[in-house]
Every structure is written in structure tokens, then in C-alpha cells.
Amino acid sequence: MPGVWLGVDIGTQGVRAVLVDGAGELLGEGAAPLRSVHGADGRHEQDPAEWWSATCAATRAATAAAPDVTVDGLSIDSTSGTLVVQDGDCRPVGPGLLYDDRRGASEFDRVRDAGSELWAQLGYRMQASWALPKVAWLTAHDAIPAAHHVAHQADHIGARLTGHRVASDWSHVLKTGYDLLTDQWPSALLDTLGINPAVLPDVVRPGTQVGVVSAAAAQESGIPAGTPVVAGMTDGCAAQVASAALAQGEWCSALGTTLVLKGSTDKLLRDATGAVYSHRNPDGGWLPGGASSIGAGVLTSDLPGADLDALTAQAATMGVPAGATYPLAGKGERFPFVAGDAVGFDIGGPDTGDAATRLQRVAHGVAYVERLAFDEIAALGAEVGDEVVVTGGATRNDWWTQLRADVLQRSLAVPERSGSAFGSAVLAAAPVGRLAATARDMVRIRRWFEPRPAAAAELDDGYRRLVAALRDRGWLQAARP
């Protein structure tokens, strides 16, 4: 894929921009922080003016690193369910309501019940922090005046870049209740909720051009005027694009603070528990996934300031631990099972308090939950291939990554470059219907970890002990073979 492409990722903590060529080579990058404000009733807000200033700081840095190149297109991803009310000139008239803002919880029961048939058809459960309850709340509180409208975070920045209101995409509108099966807003449902469909954006396929960078925006952002702006995807979907796991049966697993699995299927998965939900694949088919609350984050609290390299060297000599460890920080699980009362446990092992032993047991517990996640996904009817792309901070630990390959008995591929900003650049480069092919061209694999068959039997015993412990607590209902 020839050309140069810009990807912009608007996250919770900051904005990141990357400039890459058609071979996936990094030409420039930039980043800028964002501030958040937490308030009563579960409120979580940001200033949309900072979204714009941080975006401009990041894109100026990225483009300044390669001042003589032509940018052939850009795409923006943002946190799913984050929105703002705009006036007719696309100026914000209130704070940005972030993805986990819960002020819409008072409208949740009404939204859930009124759209119950649609949510079942779409294969997910509406949640109190999603965007549609927020829009219902804004409507009920007269916070969307006449001639004003709702914009998702990426839509708002797209409007600032182009100088006009832009269409949203299939991905960002999922949590706003868009009917992905009929490709339209559910007008009857919106009428029941008292929401005027005119306040919601038009919706297009990700990768569709929605405008070009205006001269005024070029002065602030450093992006050349006339650069095409294409509709993006949510940050989670953009991260999946960066893994190139987009064809039927391909999956990626991101292990950082938490564990997130995403894959590609030809049919829509319907999960009655709500643990798995699916975005539409721009190439056709679906992109199902789920996000667990377990991950490497528990080590931050359990082993603060520890030398993890030294502990890893010790843990690698310990073999398969006895008992079972479910390394959940906090309370409540959402994937691969849904259990609001779930808490972490560590049973049947030595009560030594040894740091290396704790790392060993956490690593095994996470790897077993990852296998359980793939087993649950397969039970829903998804194809899971023999190779999985893995990303996230935990991939820096070779012992842990090899352990995951052995537990899954699948080959694990670690890409050279990952992240939502890079995925957005790939999306900007992709012709319609060729996102998977473009990603394969631009994503480079740095290293492969092959499963060791000799380790399978003993690790299988450890996995089954954890599954039995989860089932005994009533959190995991489906029987495992």
C-alpha cells in the first residue's frame, strides 16, 4: 500500500498520533495528556476543548517529524460510548461525558426494557454506562436544545478538523443503540424514549471519507489542508486492526492491566449473558470480543516496586502450581463470565507470601482465564484458529508469553508495533473491503511463541482446577468438558 497515513487515538489519559507509510514503517509520532474530572452520581467528564488542543499537539509532533511528505488520509478512534452535545456550528455546549460516566443510570431500566428485543437480536445486553442511557438522560434534562446534536468523541474531533458536522461510523454508534443489522437508527425505540433521531449523527462504514482538513484546522493541527478524513472505529476495534486479526477465525488477545479478546466471525454471536458483544467488520461479518477484569494489573498492588525480571527468573523454575488462582483485583467480572459478586482467590497453594510464587500463580491464573475465554467463545459457535496475535505490556515477559502459548496450545504472534493509533492509520490506508488485506501488508510480526506439547497435560490439570473452583462458586454456569 503506497502513501503516508495518519492515525489519531483519543484515549482516556491522552491523545496519541502516529504517521506511518504503507509498509507500516513509523515516520513520526506525538502525544499529549488529557485531564478528567470525577463527580457525584458516577460522573466522569473531560473538557472537549482539551480533546482538540491535545489532538493538535499530538498531530503537530507526528507530522513535524516528516515535514516533506504528503498525508494521504487520516482516521480517528476514541473511547467507546464517550460523547458531547454540539451546537449547529459543532461547538461543544457542555462537558464530554466519558465512556464510564454513569449519570444515565437513572434511565437505564427504561432503555434496557424498551429495547429488549433489539438488544437480543444484536446479541448483547445494554449497560448503564453506555451511550444510549446518557442520551436519554440528556434528553430528559433538556440538555440537547433545538438545532443541537450529539457527537461521539471521534465525531467531534472530525468536525473540528473538517469544519462541519461529520457522519459517525458503525463502531462508535454501537453503544448508542444503532441497529447494526438493518443499518439504521431504531426510530420506534427512539420515539418511545423521547429521543429525536435528528440529534444523532448519520452513520457510514468505517473507512468512508467524511471530509477533508480545512485550512483553519491545518494551521492548528499541522495536518496539511485538504487531507482526507475517513470515518474511524472505537479504540478497541482500532487496536484489533493493529493486530491484523480481521479474517474469519483470527483472534487477538491484549494482556495489560486487563485482558481483552477480539476476533472475526462470519456470523453474529449472541451471548445471553452479555459477556461477548460484536461490532461489524468493515470487510463483512462481525468482530466479537470481550474484556475481562483480570490481568497484570493485580501485580501493581500485590508486588509494588518489585523487580519483575528477577522474580520471573525464579517463577520460571517452579513448574505448574498446585490449587487454583483467580487473580481478580477488586470485585465483579464481565468476561469470560458475568458475575457481579466475583472476587479473587488463591487456594490450594503454599502460604509463603513469597513474591516469586505470587507472580507464578498469577501468571498461570491469567493464562487459564485466557483459555477459558477462548473456550467460551468457541462454545458460542465462533471459529478459533491455531494462531493468536498477542499485544499489551505483558508480551514483554517472554516466560509469561510462552506459558500462555503452552496453556492455549496455540502459536502466539507478537507484532512489532501495536496500539489504537497505528490501527487507525491502517484503517485510513485501507480501500473499501480490503481492511484485512491492508492490515496484513502493514502489520509486521516481531516474534512467534510456539506451544510445547509436552507441557499440555500438566497445564490442562491446572486449568481444570480453576474451572472447577469458578463453577463451585456459582460464577461459571456452563460445564466444561
Q: What is the pLDDT of residues 184-205, one digit of tens each?
A: 999 999 999 999 999 999 999 9
Q: Where in the chain is the domain with CATH 3.30.420.40?
A: 4-232, 245-472
pLDDT digits (tens, 9 = 90+) for 75-132: 999 999 999 999 999 999 999 999 999 999 999 999 999 999 999 999 999 999 999 9
* pLDDT value for 352: 80
Mean pLDDT on 382-403 = 96
What is the band of 478 on the pLDDT scale with cuts at 50, 70, 90? low
Mean pLDDT of the chain: 95
Residues above pLDDT 70, as percent of the chain: 99
Show the cell assigned to 144.
440537547
Read off the C-alpha cell for 203: 452513520
Note the CATH number of domain 4-232. 3.30.420.40
d(CA 238, CA 107): 30
Q: Is the pLDDT of residue 479 over 80?
A: no
The predicted-structure confidence for 45-54, as pLDDT tens digits, reads as follows 999 999 999 9
pLDDT of residue 353: 81
CA gap 348, 334 in Å, rounded = 25
Q: How confident is the model at residue 1 (pLDDT cuts 50, 70, 90)?
A: low
**pLDDT at residue 209 above 70?**
yes
The CATH number of domain 245-472 is 3.40.50.970 = no
- Predicted confidence (pLDDT) per residue in 446-458, tens digit: 999 999 999 999 9
pLDDT tens digits along 120-179: 999 999 999 999 999 999 999 999 999 999 999 999 999 999 999 999 999 999 999 999
Q: What is the mean pLDDT of residues 368-373?
A: 98
Check pLDDT > 60 for residue 254.
yes
pLDDT in tens, 313-356: 999 999 999 999 999 988 999 999 999 999 999 999 887 889 99
